[in-house]
Every structure is written in C-alpha cells, then in structure tokens.
Chains A and B, each alone.
Chain A
Amino acid sequence: MTTRKPRIGVFKFASCDGCQLTVLDCEDELLDLAERVDIAYFLEAIRRPLEGEFDIALVEGSVYTPEQEEYIRDIRQRSRFLITLGACAAQGGIQALRNFTPPDEYPRVVYALPQYIESLAKSRPASDYVPVDLALQGCPINKQQLLRVLVQMLLGSKPRVPNHALCLDCKRQNIVCVLVAQGKPCMGPITTTGCGVLCPSYDRPCYSCFGPAYQPNPSSLTRRFAHLGFAPHEIQRLLHGYYSQAPEFREEGQRYARS
C-alpha cells in the first residue's frame, strides 16, 4: 500500500438516507476513521465534495431512474472497490414492492402530472448493472459491521460478513426464542445475521430487515407460521417487506399472495 490515505466516496441512489446516517452515526469512531481514510465525497457530511477516483465507493440506494443507471456505471468505473450499503442497494429495497405491479400504475395514482415522472420499470439493485465487491445488508446497515469491514479492508485482509441465521446470535446472547416461547412470527431462522439481534432483544420478532440468510428454508418456516394461525396475507407481508426481490422471499411470498 502507498502512504496515501485511501479515498472513500459515499453515494446516494433511491433511498431514505438511513444507511448514510448510519455512517454519520459512527460518532465515536468517525474521527478515528477520518484519520485513516480520506472521505472525499459524501454529500450528506462534507462541504466540498471532491470528484475523481475512489479506493472504496460506498453506495446507498436502488437504481430507479435512467440517470441513476448511468451514474452507477460511472461510479463503478471510478472505484477500485464498490460496496453497497443496505437493502435498497442490495435487493431494490422497500420501493421494489412496486416491481410486482405494472410500471405506470403507481405514478398515475400518486402524481397529478405523471408524465413528468421518468423512472425505470423496476427498482433494482446495483448488482443488476455493475459488479459489486461486497454487499452490506440491512435497513439500515449496522454500523459495527460497516466499521469492521472498513478496518479489515484498511488492514489488507478480506472482509468477512457472516451470513448465517440470526438465531445463532440470539442464542449467543442468551435471548429466549420469541417464536417458541411466545408464538410470535419471527423471521430470524431464515434471516441473515448482522443487526446485533436488535428486535428479539426487545422481545419483538425479527421482520427480516437484513434479508435472507445463506440457503434459507422459507417454506418450512411459513408452514409453521400458518400452523400458529397467521393468515396468508400476514405471511406474505413478512416475505414481501424489505427484501421482496430476494429470490427466496419473492417466490415464497407470491405463493402466499395467491392463496
């Protein structure tokens, strides 16, 4: 590595800015991080964003408009590593729920003059357009996970992002299963870890804002939900939420949408 500090850019696409806020939320670590990297482009945080090339591009949001399609290709060309932040950039996000309906339908209902709306037919992840080196999941991402990945990259080691089911971390924290002990529809068994077991530690079921775990088995879990008395539309909503375009959730959710 050269002595030059790695250059980082944070870029926004179709999103709520929550993942960028998570970057800002690294309050205690942000100054240390700024010592080690050159945060050159981050509209939400710096006054004079610098263009040019980047060692690491952090990309938030889904690709939603024709301009964004151009923009993601441009950023890819100018960046050595491209890391996506969050559910939108990884799988299209909650706005990808519109992918289930014909493209014109929502603008006609929502806007007085829909002819001024120019959007792509679907809300799609960055990886549909360009190669992505690493995807951080979550709505929003987890800041510890982001920091760990950045530190690993700065040290020159391969970043490791676990993708096992949330349950493993629930149990590592001695949390009692809310599905078994309370009959709540917890998506933990098919959801990837990373959130720090946020919901179950507050006695709430996981609603899969981190998306599917590696090799999930949604049909077995949803059969259990049905057995516990949850209606098909409730089960469908659990699958078609933040990660409706993840293939395993999309297909299983469509099965419940039809029933």
Chain B
Amino acid sequence: MPMSGGVPPIGQAVVLNKTDLGAIIEQLWQAGYTVIGPTIAQGAIVFDEVHRLDQLPIGWTDEQEGGTYRLKRRDDKAYFGYAVGPHSWKKYLFPPRLSLFSLQKTQDGFHVQQNQEPVPRYAFLGIRSCDLHAIEIQDRTFLYGPHVDSHYQARREGVFIIAVNCSKAAPTCFCTSMQTGPKVERGFDLALTELSESFVVEVATPRGADLLTGLPYREATGEDLGAAARVVRDTASSMKRHMDTYDLPELLYNNLEHPRWDDVAKRCLSCTNCTMVCPTCFCHCIEEVPDLDGQRAERIRLWDSCFNPAHSYMAGGMIRSDIRARYRQWLTHKLASWIDQYGVSGCVGCGRCITWCPVAIDITEEVAAIRSDADKRTKEGSP
C-alpha cells in the first residue's frame, strides 16, 4: 500500500527507508533550518551541525559507566544505536556564552547596543525522550516564570524536532524511574523508531507531514507498530539503574544532616561537571568585559554552577562555603526543591552526571544510601 507522494496523515505512523533520512536533512537545510544532530568528535558522540547522512555516527555506539565513556564500533549499521553523550541540547537554547549587549560611552552617558546577532532556526535531529523532557523543564525556567528570557525564547520558538525512541539504554540511564522515557510522547514533529532496515515514523504535526511529502514512505502495518513497540519495551526493560522517587523531597528534607553528605563531600571534586552536562541545570553568571580604552564594555552571560564557590558569594562571604554544602544544594535542588519551584523534578534520568563525573559519583547511589539508612533508622525507632 504505497502512499508516497502525498501528505501523510497526522497522528499516524509511516515506514521510511533509513537512507531517506538524508533527504529529510537536506530539505530542512533548504527550508532555512540549522540542523543539529549526533556526530562523532573528540572521542564521543556530540551534537553539532549535520549536513549529510554520513556525518551521523552510523555503526557506532558508546560504552558508559560512572566516570567513563568510550566509543565502540557496533556490528551493525544502526543509525541511533547509542545513548546520550556529553552534550545536551541546552547548549543551543541556553548558550554557554552569550553576549547580551554592549555599552558605549558617550558625551552625556552611555549608549546601549543590544546583541543583534541573528538567532538560527534550529532543527534537532535525534533527540531522545529524556532530553525532550529536559527542554520542557527548562521551558518552565525560562519561559513560564514571571520573567521570560527573550534569548531562550528566540531560540526555542519554532525548533523543529525529530525525536528518536531509544533502542539502547546505557548502564547509566534511569529514565524509567523518572518517567521520562524511553518512549517519546509529546513535543515533537516526527518521532523515529529504528528497525533493522527502516524507521517507523510517527507524524505529529503538519510541518512534520510536509517534510515527508514526496518521500517513498508507506503506511505502517500492525507488524511494524509491534516491532517499534518492542524496541521501546526492550530498552525499558534493559534499564540497569533505578532511583526510588517515592516521597523523595520529604526524604531529603528530613535528612539534611545525614552523614552521607560528609561521605560524598570526600569524593566530590566540586568541579561543576555534573551541572554542566545536566540538561536541566540553568545557573549562569553575568560578566562585564571592558575594552582596553575604557570606552566600551560588553555584558556577557556564562554558564555557571552551584559547585563554583563564587556562585554563592555575596556581601559578607560565601553561603555554601564547603563541598558538602554545595553537593547537598545541588542534589536537594535537583530532586526536591525543584519540585517546589517548578512542579516537576529537575532530573530526567539521562545519567550524564554519572558518566561525566570524573570520580564516578552516582546520584542514584547517593539517594539510595540516604534512603536505606533513613529506612533503617526509622525501623530502629530513632529519627
């Protein structure tokens, strides 16, 4: 039952040859999108501009554990046979270094010049469910609060999203615990599930449907849909790490003086890596960069971190003056006060903070340690 040529129905799934993804990438560029997708650089699968199919890490995968990441060849030609890597999409929506405006001295004061750099229209190719949730979480910070961040808004609006259902979970993944995956559920234009020879493509929006128009797709059969569902189910059931989220905010708030914080402080480097790779962490700082002649200054926004001692520096000193306080701040914010603040957890279970911690500190292990001890203490009848 070939359907190719026409506009595919929205809300339905179609089957597409894998190589036709190349035509989709090309069309997106032609339509004025800057296509960002997975590609290999610096020994990892990172996100960068993708112009052609052969820039994707076809036939590659990753091996991840706490503190280690290695690229490996697969014995097949899978397009998306790997988990999330060191980059997250926030580097595009919330750039690590952004010039906000510049100030020029004038005779009677100064002149403000807004940053006029054009903002690219992005298409994100290969975004996973956990990362889609992460973007929704950052939307709450940058778009739905009392102050809309115009820089984020300009980048976020109109992003074209081609999501991928995960066919592989890294040992560091725990999205099933956080209910953020592995199946993408919303917020995409197209969603791919990779089978051995083809993609099952869910079409969610008119512009997603437009993109497929003219390509040799066919309607998905029950068999195709079954195969796609199996991919997601197998990925979910292979998930090795878990986090028990039951009553988690209360658990943490009741254990702010737990000895585990001292224990983790001995291991934590306060190096900021976990917060940098976290797809939801949004902290930043503002710097003024004056020119040598003192006539002009630029105001820039930089990624910052609660693990940077200077981040809590205020008149009179540092609020979180040691590593214990900084780690506790991060973990309790991420898993508890984030919920008070935004109504959702700040953790999507992507596992990046575990893989990219140089000393392999594991957020699921830290929570479990506090929980097990807290349970024991309750059983023993002491607080």
Contact = CB atoms under 8 A, between A and B. Distances in A.
Interface of A: 29, 32-33, 36, 147-148, 151-152, 154-155, 162-165, 167-168, 171-177, 179-183, 186, 188-190, 203, 214-217, 219-221, 223-224
A175 B42 contact: yes
A203 B44 CA distance: 12
A146 to B, nearest CB: 12
A164 B42 contact: no
Contact of A155 (B71, B290, B323): B290
B358 A224 contact: yes
A165 B302 contact: no
23 contacts: A33-B292, A36-B293, A36-B294, A151-B294, A152-B290, A154-B294, A164-B309, A165-B270, A167-B271, A167-B358, A171-B276, A176-B42, A176-B43, A176-B46, A176-B86, A181-B43, A181-B69, A190-B271, A214-B309, A215-B323, A217-B267, A220-B266, A220-B359
Contact of A189 (B44, B271, B294, B304): B271
Contacts of A177: 69, 86, 273, 356, 358
B268 interface: yes
Interface string B284-315: 00000111111000000011110011100000
**A interface SS class:** helix
Interface string B97-115: 1000000000000000000
B216 interface: no
Interface of B: 41-44, 46, 67-71, 86-87, 91, 96-97, 266-273, 276-277, 289-294, 302-305, 308-310, 322-323, 355-360
Contacts of A152: 290
Given A29-B292, A168-B303, A173 B42 contact: no
A177 B69 CA distance: 9
Listed residue (A165, A174, A180, A214) with the most chain B CB atoms within 10 angstroms of its CB: A180
Contacts of B309: 163-164, 214-215
A167 B273 contact: yes
A207 to B, nearest CB: 15
Nearest to B297: A155
Contacts, number: 124
Nearest first, the 7 closest Cβ-Cβ pairs linking A and B are A171-B276, A189-B271, A176-B42, A189-B269, A172-B96, A167-B271, A165-B271
A214 B309 CA distance: 8
Contacts of A151: 290-292, 294
B109 to A, nearest CB: 16
A189 B43 contact: no
A167 B18 CA distance: 38
A180 B271 contact: no
B86 A172 contact: no
Contacts of B46: 174, 176
B43 A217 contact: no
Contact of B272 (A167, A173, A174, A181): A167
B275 to A, nearest CB: 9
Contact of B269 (A163, A180, A203, A217): A217
A132 B91 CA distance: 39
Contacts of A224: 67, 358-360
B310 A147 contact: no
B44 A173 contact: no
Nearest to B288: A157
B87 to A, nearest CB: 6
A164 B308 contact: yes
Contacts of A176: 41-44, 46, 86
B86 A164 contact: no
A165 B269 contact: yes
Nearest to B277: A171
Nearest to A162: B310
A32 B44 CA distance: 43
Given A33-B292, A171-B276, A215-B309, A180 B67 contact: yes
B359 A203 contact: no
Given A168-B271, A168-B276, A180-B86, 18 more contacts: A29-B292, A36-B293, A151-B294, A164-B308, A165-B271, A167-B272, A171-B273, A176-B41, A176-B46, A177-B69, A180-B69, A181-B43, A215-B322, A217-B266, A217-B323, A219-B266, A224-B358, A224-B360
B69 A174 contact: no
A167 B310 CA distance: 15
B358 A203 contact: no
A3 B268 CA distance: 50
A39 to B, nearest CB: 14
A130 B97 CA distance: 38
Contacts of B271: 165, 167-168, 188-190
Contacts of B273: 167, 171, 177, 189
A174 B87 contact: yes
B34 to A, nearest CB: 16
B294 A172 contact: no
A189 B272 CA distance: 8
Contact of B358 (A32, A180, A219): A180
B68 A171 contact: no
A164 B323 contact: no
A188 B357 CA distance: 12
Contact of B292 (A147, A163, A165, A180): A147
A141 B271 CA distance: 22
A114 to B, nearest CB: 43
Nearest to A175: B42
A220 to B, nearest CB: 5
